[in-house]
Homo-oligomer: A and B are copies of this chain.
Amino acid sequence: MKITPISGFPEFLPAQRIVEQHFLDVIRETFELHGFPSIETRAVEPLPRLMGKGGDADKEIYGVSRLDRDDAGDFRLDLGAFDDALGLHFDLTVPFARYVLENAGHLSFPFRRHQIQKVWRGERPQEGRYREFTQADIDVVDVGELAPHFEAEMPLVIAEVFRKLPVGRMVIQVNNRKIPEGFYLGIGIDDVGGTLRIVDKLDKIGPAKVKDQLVEAGRTAEQADQCLALAAIRSEDLSFVEQVRALGVEHPTLDEGLDALAAVIRAGLDHAPGAMVADLKIARGLDYYTGTVYETQLVGHESWGSFCSGGRYDSLASDGKTTYPGVGISIGVSRLLGLLIGKGLLVASRSTPACVLVAVNDEESRAVSTRVATELRARGIACEVAPKPAKFGKQIRYAERRGIPYVWFPAAAGAGDSGDSGSGGSGGSGGDQVKDIRSGDQVDADATTWEPPVQDLHPQVLRAEHTTDQS
């Protein structure tokens, strides 16, 4: 059976997976520090829920069905009745909304949760775009009404995540949907959604073409210029408010939007200076956002697009009687790592959690080496016992190939045994010894007390030189 990778379903080698684990650990730990408990939802949802009311298959959904045989004995998939048919979830928001409705009686509101899981989309794969990928979401939902301060809290959590990750500077771009809405209404544009969708293309097609399209769609040249002037406003502080006022447009929805965005940016200035920017061109294509919207840019890699997006929605879920407004952000973990690891910008210091390889003198004394390992593990030091009682030089090379920094020589080895390796072996003191195989330093050590330097205890994730970065 030929073995070939499946396009869009990437897999990491162990050292790359260590980088991914570090990212996922930091994300989870930060979410939990901010009081977001974890939930996981099943991988499948009924197709009608995934597609929405319109049966819209634009999301490129993967259907799932138990394998069946037809009359000719060939395997086939039988979707069954549409209402019961299942598909793999394509994001974590749709399953979360369903989870809230299903468990509302068991949850306390406002309900906050984080969710880190794989999702699947049948889109055409390209660099940083996969068919199977991991997202990390936080959301807060409440019953009936959601306090606006949650819209300021979300980006503070995200700012802390990115401050702790070795990715360089990540800027969170924030806008409020009510600003363009009020502004457009204030200059006599009624088709807010249609206008927003055209302005949203600004980064892709540039201002001249956006203006052309706005005019084609029935806006006046002056209205189009005003829309572009609004979208050009960007400030790290509260000065965006004055810049908008200077355009001379008045509308109560615009005032609401400016106040709301000012509150979010003020919280950023207070608690995460430098992490946020008011950017009035951010629109987020999705229609369900109704207030604050978020995107992110990795400074120096702006062309990679947003790795983390979200916003406020007035109706995350509704059971007909009760409506649940919410606000959330989603980190595209696989997308970010696919680029950073793929371009060689991040590497792990070793390909195994093991900090120590305990050498084996001969197969009969393996129990001695295992006891050393047990002592080290009891104090949180990951280790592995050498697979073979080979010459010490060979055992050291086994550690070297995996990046394990220390080799432990149990006492029974004696000095004589190690001479033939040229590099291993003890100094002849008669007790256990441990060798830092990077420096060659070898010292007496006791398995019940020895500690590696803290930076060697776990694999480190390192930023590589930027020379391989082509973006």
If A377-B33, A384-B35 touch, whether A77 touches B79 (CB-CB below 8 Å) is: yes
Q: Is the CB of B5 within 8 A of A17?
A: no
List the B side residues contacting A122 at CB < 8 Å.
66-67
Q: Is the CB of B271 within 8 A of A11?
A: no
Contact residues of A between 296 and 344, Cβ < 8 Å to B: 319
Q: How far does the alpha carbon of A377 sit from the alpha carbon of B34 in the complex, in Å?
A: 8
Q: How far does the alpha carbon of A64 sit from the alpha carbon of B74 in the complex, in Å?
A: 16
List the B side residues contacting A284 at CB < 8 Å.
none
Q: Is the CB of A47 within 8 A of B33?
A: no
Interface string of A214-236 (1 = CB under 8 A from B): 00000000000000000000000
List the B side residues contacting A87 at CB < 8 Å.
67
Interface string of A383-399 (1 = CB under 8 A from B): 11101100000000010
Which of B1, B37, B150, B398 is the one whose CB lies under 8 Å from A14?
Answer: B37
Cβ-based interface call for A48 (8 A): yes
Q: How far does the alpha carbon of A132 sit from the alpha carbon of B101 in the complex, in Å?
A: 21
List the B side residues contacting A351 at CB < 8 Å.
37, 108
Contact residues of A between 33 and 54, Cβ < 8 Å to B: 33-44, 46-49
If A98-B3, A367-B270 touch, whether A13 touches B103 (CB-CB below 8 Å) is: yes
Cβ-based interface call for A420 (8 A): no
Q: Which of A110-118, A168-176, A186-194 contacts B (4 or more CB under 8 A)?
A: A110-118
Q: How far does the alpha carbon of A381 sit from the alpha carbon of B74 in the complex, in Å?
A: 58
- 12 A–B contacts, CB within 8 A, in A order: A3-B319, A9-B43, A11-B39, A35-B384, A47-B67, A64-B64, A64-B88, A65-B77, A74-B82, A142-B387, A156-B370, A271-B374
Rank and list the top 10 A-B pairs by shortest CB-CB distance, nearest first. Answer: A35-B384, A35-B354, A32-B353, A9-B42, A66-B122, A77-B77, A14-B37, A33-B377, A63-B77, A63-B67
